[in-house]
Amino acid sequence: MLVQCLGYVVSELILSTFFFLCGWPVVRLFTLGRYPTHSRPDGSRVDTYVCCVGLAVFCLLLLALCSQF
């Protein structure tokens, strides 16, 4: 029970919010401000896509900071 609660906190509250906030400005830039219409994740399919973009942006920034390009 405790491990399940801890896993939920880490995955949903920390990682989803972090990657959403990383991907949100990029998606807004590429869609010229149309999508997503909200600035906080609510669990929809659009939020999942924004989190995936945020993960990709984070990985690219990490690679650039480590001089791996």
For 23-62, the pLDDT digits (tens) are 999 999 999 988 888 777 787 888 889 999 999 999 999 9
pTM of the model: 0.80
Residue-range definition of the domain harbouring residue 37: 2-65
Residue found under tokens 């989803």: 16
| Amino acid of residue 12 | E
From CA 2, how far away is CA 33, in angstroms rounded?
40
pLDDT band at 69 (very low <50, low <70, confident <90, very high): confident
Cβ proximity of 24 and 39 under 8 Å: yes
DSSP structure class, residue 51: H
Cα separation of 17 and 41, whole Å? 7
Q: How many domains does the chain have?
A: 1
